[in-house]
Structure 1
Amino acid sequence: MDYLTQGIQYMQEQQYEEAAQAFTQAIEENPNEPLGYVNFGNLLLHMNDRERAERFFKKAIELNEDVATAHYGLGNVYYEQEKYEEAVEPFQKAIQKGLEESDAYYMLGLSLLYQEQFKFALAYLQRATELSPDDAEVHFQYGLCLAQVGMIDEAIQTFTKVLTLNAEHSDAHYNLGVSYLYKEDPEQALKHFGLAIDIQPDHMLAANAKAKVEELLEQNQGE
């Protein structure tokens, strides 16, 4: 077994010190092979050593800028520091270099979403849902983005899809409630706010929204 494979196995077994030693040996054996630096970068990122992780990913890119996982790793370094604007370019490059995986599109979409660039985020999050059709969280973030651009019917369909994947997703119920308020359907909104609270009793947003809708319905009945 080569040092890289050994290091990855150690990482999976959460033996991080042994993984670091294996990746160090892999780099010493092949100093011009970028994958050693990428894997060491992933280990450092996992251990929240972002400054050193950034250096390792950049070294990998310096050796071979076509290694998609090095760009993806660098994007994650910036994303975890909430440097969303800086994260966009490496995530884009990871995709351009052939990383056709849901995570790459998802992280790029989120980086744009958190900058409130909703229209740009939408296409990437949609692609992430196509590549991960059973991932509730990917669909949920896509639903939030649809709602932000005013595609309320599509958002409702997407949040409903989230609940078929994870029936206990309280935030999906809450956002369905908000979506139904936009559709001027307070009864449906009330139902979903109630379900959000049933799942998560301390869901303050759902509790406040439910109270306001109930108050509004009472006022309307009194008129």
Structure 2
Amino acid sequence: MTRLEQGIQYMQEGKWEEAAKLFTEEIEENPSNPIGYVNFANLLDAIGDYERSIAFYEKALELDPKLAAAYYGLGNLLYQQEKFESARAMFELAMQNGLHNSDLYFMLGFTYVELGNDRLALPYLQRAVELNEGDVEAVFQYGLCLARLGHVAEARPQFEKAIELDDEHADAYYNLGIVHAYAEDNGKALELFRKAVALQPDHYLAGNAIRLLEQNLQ
């Protein structure tokens, strides 16, 4: 196991100091290797030292302007800071430089959602699901995006899949209830809204939907 691999393992175990020591040694011994800086940046991000994390990602990009992992890391940091337009640019640079995994497509799609552009978000969320069908949040957000764009019938199997992956996903039950209400299947919709509230008693939207449907059924 290399020093960097050992450091990453320490990070996964929450051994921050041990990981930092190894990454520091790697940078000191191989200052021209950008991967050391990326790993240290990841660690700093994980412990909340965002300013220094950005500096290490930028150093990695100075050494290798085509390092997709650094663009992706920067994009995540900028997203956390709600700098969505800048995050979008970083995610697109990561993609242009060869990163094509489900996490990148999800983050790029969700960034477009935050920017209020569901039309551009949709293909990225769809691709994220295609690459990782077991990612419940990607499946759910893809369904939401379809629904917001008026593709209600297409959204339904995504919400059903989200529930299949996580049978305690209150928001998926609620939104599937909306789909059934839209189809005027009020009995099924009410059942799904009640399930959402049972899982999350403070689910205001589901609670309100129950009251409205019960009034209509009476």
TM over 0.5: yes
**How far off its partner does 1:182 sit?**
2.6
Correspondence for 1:221: none
Correspondence for 2:67: 67
Give the fraction of aligned pairs with identical amino acids, expressed as a percent.
51
Give the letter aligned to residue 76 of structure 1. N
**How far off its partner does 1:95 sit?**
1.6
1:161 paired with 2:161, answer yes
CA distance in 2, matches of 1:63, 1:184: 59
CA distance in 2, matches of 1:70, 1:3: 19
Between Structure 1 and Structure 2, how many residues are aligned?
218
Superposed, 1:110-189 pairs within 5 Å as 110-189=110-189
- 1:10-41, CA deviations, whole angstroms, 9 ceiling, x for partnerless residues? 21221101111111111111111110110001
Give the letter aligned to residue 51 of structure 2. E
SS in 2 for 1:82: coil
Correspondence for 1:11: 11
After TM superposition, what 4+ stretches of structure 1 lie above 6 angstroms from structure 2?
Answer: none
Correspondence for 2:88: 88
**How far off its partner does 1:135 sit?**
1.5
**How far off its partner does 1:213 sit?**
1.2
- 1:148-203, CA deviations, whole angstroms, 9 ceiling, x for partnerless residues? 11100011111011111112211101011122233333222212101111222222
Q: Which moved more, 1:147-156 or 1:196-205?
A: 196-205
Flag structure 2 segments of 5+ consecutive residues without an equivalent. none
Flag structure 1 segments of 5+ consecutive residues without an equivalent. 219-223
Q: Which moved more, 1:190-199 or 1:73-82?
A: 190-199
- 1:53-104, CA deviations, whole angstroms, 9 ceiling, x for partnerless residues? 1111111111112211111000011011121111101111112211121100
CA distance in 2, matches of 1:26, 1:15: 17
Correspondence for 1:198: 198
CA distance in 1, matches of 2:3, 2:201: 49
**How far off its partner does 1:5 sit?**
2.1
TM-score by length of 2: 0.95
CA distance in 2, matches of 1:101, 1:215: 47
TM-score by length of 1: 0.93
- 1:110-158, CA deviations, whole angstroms, 9 ceiling, x for partnerless residues? 1111111101000000000011111211100111111111100011111
Give the letter aligned to residue 22 of structure 2. A
Give the letter aligned to residue 134 of structure 2. D
SS in 1 for 2:14: coil
